[in-house]
Chain A
Amino acid sequence: MIALSTVLISFVGAMVCGLMPPDSHRRVRWVALLTAVLGLTMAFLCALEYQGTGFEDEFSSTWIPWIGVSFITGYDGISLPLLLVTGLVAVSGVLFTWNLDHRANQFYAFYFALIGGVYGVFLSLDLFLLFVFYEIAIVPKYFLIAIWGGDKREYAAMKLVMYSFGGSALVLLGMLALYFGSGLNTFGLEQLMSADFSGAFQAVVFPILFLGFAILAGMWPFHTWAPTGHAAAPTAASMLLAGVVMKLGAYGCLRIAVGLLPEGAVVWAPIIAIFAVVNIIYGALVALRQEDFKFVIGYSSVSHMGFVLLGIATLNLTGMTGAVLQMFSHGVIGALLFAMVGTVIYSRTKTRMFDELHRLIDRMPGIAWVFIIVGLASMGLPGFSGFVSELYVLLGAWESLSGWIVALAGLGVLATFGYTLVKIHEAFFQRVAEDSGNNIGVEQPDYPPMTLPEKMGVGLLLGASILIGICPWLLTNHISGSLQLLIDRMAN
């Protein structure tokens, strides 16, 4: 029940926030913080309690028995890091939107509805339940972006919802196929895992399910919702989108598509690997060309998700461990990047265009350095979680995929270094050209330093990244333990 309480807490929090009066944003934010922190605490408790490798803390109850739907939740080593990252991002999201005063009650209502849905997906052990939570997470995204977003927010929100819903339609079809294909008359994940699907069936159904989930994971060429959506979303929402929602897709790919249809995965893995590498390189190269800071981060998310997909495509323990770890890692770092750009920098400069940012390193040194460190973490420098996860993924790729894929992924890493450095330069070190009409020559004032909530948010996320970068075993033990079970089942 500890795990399930994350969902309950979030939904209750959403309701409480929604029912508070509209002009009470000062009180709402404390309620929001409390909700988020409680959720995180529960996620932590889960992590502390977790011992073995299988599903733990299971809660099960009948729901719609005659079509084989039951309410089963629980978590294992694969969902554990994702629960944690959800909690972390939720808390820091509140911290980074601390000064929100426009319709704050509604904002947090949608915010926690989304978070509750996300927790639910990671905890569901029943396909139907998982799907329910998966869809619950869709609608709040629309409102978060459309109401509180920036430029082109309505377009971006609609695009995001259409893509998400399109993906989930595929998932639903695949789910029904699984149900009837297994002949077990159940949507329960654990029973379905023991089902005996024929090879031909797997080869047909796998791409449907995988694609459905991969759309949300930002797989090229279905990634276009991601940069626009991320860029238009308000900070907390883009943190959630990049940090957690994209992970929903990847989690589904791993848990459902690969976990239930291993033979299908074997058939399609090489193709997925190619798509993943395209993701990595394409995302990085497009990021290099962006003029808007948020779009850079948006495409960098696409690129990083490529590593997750690549890890999944390896279908071996090392690679998939890397994929899950990368989900955690990118969840933390991606969210932090969006927070830095969307709130910390934007609220001070009022622009995100590189050609208007003038020598910020002198005018906001503290913030600039924090961003640089986060950028380094995003590059996958050793010492941060990104490195460990990419290491795992590349190792896994060496093991089971062609050397060319690894070499190309390496190229992608290089491109990541390239665009991160170039963009850091453009944002913080570059002087705006004389003719741009910006009052050059006039001594421009320094910007105020980071506020306390901002500092706390940064500390939380960056700390998590460094902690996992230095002590990856904290998570990898659990992850590989549970993945081993999955792989053993695949071997049979």
Chain B
Amino acid sequence: MDYQAIFYALLPDLIVVVALFIALGIDYGYLRKSSLANRSVRALQISSVGLFVGMVLLVLQMKGSLPMDYAQLLAATHGQLALSPGTLALKCLLFSMGLAVLPLAARHMVTRHVSEYFALLLLATLGMGFMVTSRNLLGAFVALELVSLSLYALTVLHQTSRTSAEAALKYLTYGGVSSAFLLFGISYLFGLTGTLDISKTIPMSEALTGAPMLVSVAYLFILVGLGFKVAVAPFHLWSPDVYQSAPTPVAAWIASGSKIAGVVLLLVLLIPVSTLSANTTIIPMLAVLAVLSMAVGNLGALRQTNLKRLLAYSAIANAGYLLVAVLAFSEEGRAAAIYYAVVYAIATLGTFAVVSVFGDRLGREAQIDDFRGFWKNRPGLSMALLIFILSLAGIPPLAGFVGKFYLFYAAIQSQPQISYWSEGLYWLVALALVFSVVALYYYMKVLKAVFVSEDIAESREDSIGWPSSVVILILSLITLVLGVWPGPLIEYIRGCLIF
């Protein structure tokens, strides 16, 4: 065992863990008698520094500045972790998004357990980092569970809200069942191939060709399990409640970070079958999930009056769009799915951030009507909200549009020449387009409240603080820039996506 290599490989995560413990320790030791505000500021500072240093180290790893190259790292972890520029970038992205969530969490403390709050957030972030880098079935499962458990706990942290507990229980129950399904599916896969290492694509594929029926069953279970995690219809029932009742930053983190991680995991798990004839059963399964998600998400969102619930349904719908790209089973499809997941996560995170800085302070449930006349109070925030929502709706020149376009492009590209409508993915793209028209309706409803109404739901409140402002500003700028100049990012994703 090359401990030095393992040390270097896990250094960023190590730093985060250290930060986590420091935060806990200081909070429980040194700051025991301090005010809630003070404790939260300290916790925020420590966790932020931890995540930031972790990020810096990740960047160094990506650049190869650490005295180890990728091959050595891979060898050192025995294939458990695939540390390539692509996965590291994703991990780095997740860390940075975690960093963006932290100030939101600090603004409005919902609980007295300040340090646990931040520690759990860091743990979830860590877990996501492992999800995207892990190439071992069990490792990935453990990472997923780490994320899930942290999120269950975070959901229940909203102690002033009774519904928070209820939602957390729902989340936990569904999550537990889904984990079981996932584990069951993984075990089938292990049974079929005799290996847990997904990076050995070719031997796995060869092993799988032998038993197409069992492969289908295995993937059915895996899809059910992961479907629960990323909230794909019909396994979405927990998500609206959780989004609404969890503390807003937590909901933001569920909607953004865990979504990216979940999609990456799904892509990774699907690699062995991407060239198989077993596709013939998996593709219809995925297609059904995609159609159902788009339908349930978009139609469900139409009736919502609560912005967070609306975002939950929108998340379901977007999971459906993502599956369209996954269905392509091509390099382009994977790139599109990841790009889409990233821009979607950024926009959602931004929306939740606005909801958080505006709504939570008022103790509001973030009803859409609460945003009436928002433009008068908060012109800047409402501009940011405009950008995020339009990006979610897929309106150019924002990132969401490019994401959606790339997604459809990739989907059709998988089989561009067709002789009958049901061949290829044209029909699915057409359906997705129809649903995106529907989606515009409810997104516009939100914007209507924000911009059109003349009466004001709430008079001006105090300043929102610079960390949150910076987060929102950066997120909206990224959304804009990724829409106008998506080239570099797409190129990067295409260039270094080696799973």
Contact = CB atoms under 8 A, between A and B. Distances in A.
Contact of B490 (A66, A138, A179): A66
A295 interface: no
B412 A176 contact: yes
Contacts of A138: 395
Given A66-B490, A166-B437, A172 B417 contact: no
Interface string B395-412: 111000110011011001
Given A64-B487, A67-B406, A135 B401 contact: yes
Interface stretch (B309-317, B444-452, B471-479): B444-452
B397 A132 contact: yes
A138 B397 CA distance: 12
A173 B409 contact: no
A162 interface: yes
B389 to A, nearest CB: 10
Interface in A127-174: 128, 131-133, 135-136, 138-139, 142-143, 146-147, 154, 158, 161-162, 165-166, 169-170, 172-173
B292 interface: no
Contacts of A136: 395-397
Contacts of B352: none
B448 A146 contact: yes
Contacts, number: 77
Interface string B411-448: 01100110000000010011001101100110010011
Given A66-B494, A128-B405, A147-B452, A165 B440 contact: yes
Interface residues of B, number: 34
B234 interface: no
Interface string B451-492: 110000000000000000000000000000000001100110
Contact of B390 (A133, A139, A177): A139
B409 A176 contact: yes
Identify the interface centre among B408, B413, B417, B452: most chain A CB within 10 Å of its CB. B452
A181 B416 contact: yes
Contacts of B437: 162, 165-166, 169
B416 A161 contact: no
Interface string A64-75: 111100000000
A63 interface: yes
Contact of A177 (B426, B441, B444): B426
Nearest to B438: A162
Q: Which of B395, B401, B426, B441 has the most CB of A within 10 A?
A: B395
Given A65-B487, A132-B401, A181-B416, A158 B395 contact: no
B490 A161 contact: no
Interface of A: 62-67, 106, 128, 131-133, 135-136, 138-139, 142-143, 146-147, 154, 158, 161-162, 165-166, 169-170, 172-173, 176-177, 179-181
12 contacts: A62-B487, A67-B406, A67-B409, A132-B397, A139-B395, A146-B448, A147-B452, A154-B448, A158-B441, A166-B437, A172-B433, A181-B416
**What are the 7 tightest A-B residue pairs by CB atom distance, in nearest-first order?**
A180-B416, A169-B433, A132-B396, A146-B452, A135-B396, A166-B437, A64-B487
